[in-house]
A and B are shown apart, each in its own frame.
Chain A
């Protein structure tokens, strides 16, 4: 007899709420919206390419895609200032792209090439680009929420108004580090923004089966004296507005925020996982609640020409094709790279 009322495979289905059509009239510049559109496509198309490369056996190890979840990354990518900090999870390709990192170093990293973003030492789960404010993708659940606090604290001590954003999954809200980090940020009013991308599942277990509250991040906020915002994570405008408010609050000394973005991964958890533990009706409903066609239509409704949107999609596709070929033909890391950059002196020596 399973302990929970929702045994594996028969859990309650969580369906998306319809898109909020009134967001069409939200006070967001059209050029900002074009940027949101472009970034969502950059992420979607890159993730699709990575999936193909994985199936071709060219991406080894693992990869966690965010197909279906692009709106959150794109919205923060557009809303953040260049010198703000992002901390993401192993599902971090999209957040890296969102901060302005091009597809070539990302694909190169996944293919284990010398030209990879971090020279082949990180791989799919560990993309970092400090110059873009992308402070890393972390593969041990929870830690980076605490680390983001450190960057936020540092900004405060150094007297800048930078903010730090930590993206994490619904599953991460049940690990101690989440609670330590939120309490810590709230106590010191740090400019940390906690963004839960609630895609309803951990790896294979529905979050609802192991969590006694409906909103795993937002419902915990009151325990730390915080308000939280729950948004449609598949609507880039909704996330953008929430991001703007949280960033403004953090910059002006108002302290941390929790945003819970409701979303869904269209594919499995990682690698070639077909995600069959998810009920058909749920998958179908969320596939229909796709952030990208909705946003396309919204821009058309706002008077943007189809030709402009098609051109953007084509530009992104061409760049990903080019990046793929460049990464494929790049060399593997030199053998000496194994020994470099353990220490700040560039080496790895531990004895004389």
Chain B
């Protein structure tokens, strides 16, 4: 058993779990934040993507113990003061989701992409960087459209890692 402390969406949290507990299960079960999904058993679908110390990672392939002491952002941490994050708003405006299962991971991946590429982000890069996020519904076109729209919305400002 491990007692784990980390910062999640700006709040310090701690919990007790097995050393083998995956970060995604810690987030969903110990913290009750169920926006982060599990969509596969092969580290390929990206439904579980969160940010750890400012970078996108697959929380199904990391132990909670590995993340101890880190700063985590989940999909629940993006909206501020009841206002959707520009990437969330763009997904809504451009119909970037159907069933929504992949959406939290898509949005977290998109926010990270914009952080790294800023206004240099073009369609080819978006498509290449969605390699690790699978959507069974949309056919990706509207997801790509939403991400590119969000680049303009945010002024394409590159942000330093948190």
- B is bound to A: no
Residues of A within 8 A of B (CB): none
